[in-house]
Amino acid sequence: MINKVSSAIKKEIRKRFEYGEDLKELAYEYKLSYGTLRNLSSKEKWEKGINASILYIKEVEKDIESHITEREEVKGHYKNLHKSNLAYLIELERKKERPISKAREEALKNRITAHRENYEFAKELYSIMNPDEEIDYKIKLAKYEAYKKELLKDNGDDKGGDIEI
């Protein structure tokens, strides 16, 4: 076992410890004396898991971004479906026509109903919000951002920006 620790290894171990890894496992991995690491961490006042919440926030943000992208894509598909139905109905109105047969009229009605029902299901599945729900969401997001800034400030990063991991 090694009792002296280079500054580069010490920084790496401290970073991993502050993200929640166990000091004994780190000592074993880096082939260092556990006592040396324990004394070093105590002397420099390392706090286990202090950065775990920041790491969690970054993961949540990444997940939210992918969810938003997927949701916007789904909304775009339903907008296109609506536009195509609307264009067809406008064309019929412009020509002062009704669908040629009762079966076509029924098919159009069924297609529009199916799109509406599928959109309702997609709203639940992809958390597509109406304007009131979006306002509530933005209020929660503002509270989240304030919490995140407070967390970053408490961690010594006053920039409030991205954190290297």
| 20-70 pLDDT, tens digit each | 888 899 988 988 888 888 888 889 888 887 777 777 777 778 888 888 888
Position 155 scores a pLDDT of 62
Position 1 scores a pLDDT of 53
Position 135 scores a pLDDT of 85
| 125-156 pLDDT, tens digit each | 777 777 787 788 888 888 888 887 887 776 65
Can you tell me the distance from the alpha carbon of 86 to that of 81, in angstroms, rounded to the nearest whole number?
Answer: 9
Alpha-carbon distances of 42 from 45, 53, 98, rounded to whole Å = 5, 21, 82
What is the value of pTM for the model shown?
0.45
Nearest to 60 by CA among 159, 153, 158, 140: 140
Residue 34's contacts (CB-CB under 8 Å, 6 or more residues apart) are 23, 24, 27, 28
* Confidence bin at 19 (pLDDT 50/70/90): confident
Token pair belonging to 54: 């920041």
Contact 5, 32 (CB under 8 A): yes
| 66-106 pLDDT, tens digit each | 888 888 898 889 889 889 988 888 888 888 877 677 888 88
